[in-house]
Structure 1
């Protein structure tokens, strides 16, 4: 039994395994980032750009986006948060053909995305772009009030492509001394934050993107962290250095064994239309397993 049209559409999503941050005002780092195998590049207008270079960075970004080079990665821009008063200026400079999406930091909930969506509606018309072209990834856990509004992302805004979380900005607001235990694991507070973001993204049926791994020289630690992340249900991860991309891609791609089993499950259901439960090698599989199998096959490209 195949999935219905609506369920199939769930799997027709932009690939977001690895998203590499790049300062928006550094042509050198952007050139290097393009050589990585990241699924998407996030050109950062927020934390990576000093206040007196924001306008320069916007102009540089406008030229980069307008150039629209041949590429096999999606192009995103992290804009400044709404409470800075800079968001609309950012969007006015970057919404043009070639932009795939934006990342919204310090969102307090879906109402912020609704507001930004209205900005994008008008700016897409000005740029001659189809309505809804520019997608949105939200950093959904950077303010205290955001934690109480995670459920507001479901049902999702039509532009919503993914949710991710962050620890540093939230920590500065709530006054936590550290977000890591002595063994390097997240403290209880941040384990809750991470899990709530995961649940919110799953409820909205959008990409579940884990936060960055700060030590970009620790490949083994990154791999171990990514394996745990994927086991928990995350579908991708933020990278802060090109050297992290290959590890992230590998960890968030199905293994050959996973892919083979997923295809067996799909084929078994398709061979017996109308059956809700089926046995393979002595183990029973039902519709949730079928949906997961389709996700695994989709993740493989």
Structure 2
């Protein structure tokens, strides 16, 4: 999945708009975008949406409230019988948070008679507190349901008491670059998808594209959006171009023709096995997007 769009679960208008945005996944948000007084109504709205949504459309992800609140358990009890594709846990501290939620989902699925192939995945916003940055290596093996990790600069800035998380040039400052990098490393180490965080200025298309291209360059496989208008840019950037695919095929072909070797030359450049792996991964990713 290339694009994940946050949609407040208590807004029928935004849910409808999100469904037609072209996003690969909709995140039905029960957390930050929902007022405290409207948590119960948002939960009911999410359940209703899961019951009626076209399951041939975008994947449906429910962001529950954090594990230090009174809401998350009741939210899982309400939505799991309706089979969302994934649950997104905010403000996780470590892989133990994934295991805790995973065990509850295991129990709720058994109670609902949901077959193993219907298993709900789990994603985490893994960098929203200072302590969480020290635990990005704990997600490997935390629970079989873990599907992706993403990061959040806004909550982290609030936790740190920062005045801003970007410098005068609009570039993330050190703490947030560190959070982003650790999320990428933690996700890859855990064998799950690394998903880049939001671009909060939804009118800045050039800034969004620059962030997305930097994310692709570094190894992220998708990006979170906060506005439907951001989806076309994200989808375009995270879809391998024909030029990229042609180069990848040429790399693979060069190794195949060379036989059992560790190094080949292509267009005046020496390539070794890591380049072959990169090419194969790109071809596989393009095939997954098409399917």
TM-score by length of 1: 0.89
2:22 to 37, 43, 51: 37
Q: What CA RMSD, in Å, does the superposition of the two structures yield over aligned residues?
A: 1.7
**What is the aligned counterpart of 2:57 among 61, 72, 83?**
72
Instruction: Give the alignment partner of residue 145 of structure 2, picking from 141, 150, 159.
Output: 159
For 1:252 and 1:178, locate their aligned partners in 2 and report how far apart those are by CA, in whole Å. 28
CA–CA distance in 2 between the matches of 1:226 and 1:154? 25
State the distance in 2 between where 1:268 and 1:156 align: 39
For residue 140 of structure 1, the aligned residue among 111, 123, 126 is 126
Tell me how far 1:217 sits from its aligned partner.
Answer: 1.1
Which whole-Å deviations, capped at 9, do the CAs of 1:138-169 have from their partners, x for residues lacking one? Answer: 10001111111111012453111111111121
Counterpart check, 1:259 vs 2:245: yes
Q: After superposition, what is the alpha-carbon deviation per residue over 1:195-232, rounded to whole angstroms, capped at 9, x for unaligned?
A: 11111112122211111111111112211221122212
In the TM superposition, what is the alpha-carbon distance from 1:130 to its structure 2 partner?
Answer: 2.8
Partner deviation per Cα, 1:11-38 (whole Å, 9 max, x = no partner):
xxxxx21100000011111111111111
Map of 1:150-299 to 2, 5 A cutoff? 150-155=136-141, 157-270=143-256, 274-299=260-285
Structure scoring higher RCO (CA < 8 A, sep ≥ 6) equals 1
- Matched position secondary structure for 1:181: coil
107-116 or 219-228, which deviates more: 219-228
- Deviation at residue 271 of structure 1 after TM alignment: 5.1
Contact 1:81 1:104 in 2 (8 A): yes
Residues in 2 aligned to 1:126 and 1:109: alpha-carbon distance in whole angstroms:
27
Match of 2:105 among 114, 120, 125: 120
Once the 2 structures are TM-superposed, how far is the Cα of residue 68 of structure 1 from its aligned partner?
Answer: 4.3
1:122 aligns to what SS in structure 2?
helix
For the Cα contact (< 8 Å) 1:22–1:240, is it kept in 2?
A: yes
Change (3 A) 1:148 1:27: same
Q: For this pair of structures, how many residues does the alignment match?
A: 286
Determine the C-alpha separation between the residues in 2 that align with 1:286 and 1:230. Answer: 21
CA separation of 1:203 and 1:26: change in aligned 2, threshold 3 A: same
- Counterpart CA distance in 1 for 2:107 and 2:261 is 47
Structure 2 spans left out of the alignment, 5+ residues: none
Instruction: Give unpaired runs (5+ residues) of structure 1.
Output: 1-15
